[in-house]
Amino acid sequence: MAIIGVRIDGRLIHGQVANLWTTKLNISRIMVVDNDVVNNDIEKSGLKLACPPGVKLSVLSVDKAAANILAGKYDSQRLLIVAKRPEPILGLVEQGVELAELNIGNMSQSPETRSVTRSVNVVDEDIRVFDELHAKGVKLIHQMVPGDTAKDFLPLLDKVR
């Protein structure tokens, strides 16, 4: 399978994803899965600028991403999937994309969120989606950078239920 990593990061492509994760995992393509960003030319331009040299970029809707993955379009590549929130990842799984593990790296704080860790903030809908992903067999971890130890995300999430 071409999928090397799957990460939730509200910033999508930035220093940690662009430099640390792509280098550590030897990524050849970053796939941003977001039904809103796919229609936002300004945001797509920013993502292109943030993408490291030599790494390809795809910005796709959930449906298009699932179709491309299931059709084997990336089988010869090392793919890192990135989404702002867990819903697009659940959408991929519901359409048949097999994901072993999801790294919840960064979800921004807002007045509606509750803090799970210093960098991960959730609303009730996020908790529901994480529970559903877990029920579908996706291992949930929290790891900001490759040098950090990966932590099981569910006990962290239990603190804010």
- Could you list the active site residues? 14
The candidate with the shortest Cα–Cα distance to 113, out of 121, 104, 105, is 121
CA dist 76 and 94 (Å) reads 23
CA dist 123 and 112 (Å) reads 7
In sequence order, the β-bridge partners of residue 111 are: none
Answer for the pair 89, 8: CB distance below 8 angstroms, yes or no: yes
